[in-house]
Amino acid sequence: MKEGIHPRYDKAKIVCACGHVIETRSTVAQIHVEICSACHPFFTGKQKLVDTAGRVERFQRKYGIKGTPGSQTA
């Protein structure tokens, strides 16, 4: 490999919003994620609604959508 053109590849920490910390190696010292294997429903077996800062409600307000899908009567 050519000297001096590659980024440093050091120890890094992945920090989840739930507080779980995973140590790995990366070119970035610290990585922040919203969900990890410690809190993801697939790995925990628990149901969890992941709605980051009310994105669904914000979308509905922005586009004037009322109610939930399938709630309209025929």
Q: How does pLDDT run across 3-45, given as a tens digit for each residue?
A: 889 999 999 999 998 899 999 999 999 999 988 888 887 777 7
- The closest alpha carbon to 14, from 45, 50, 38, 46, belongs to 38
Give CA–CA dist 74/72, Å, rounded: 7
The predicted pLDDT at position 10 comes to: 94
Residue 2 in this model has a pLDDT that exceeds 70: yes
Q: In 3D, which of 45, 46, 47, 9 has the Cα closest to residue 29? A: 9
User: 33 near 52, Cβ under 8 Å?
Assistant: no
Can you list the domains of the chain with their CATH numbers? 10-63 (4.10.80.400)
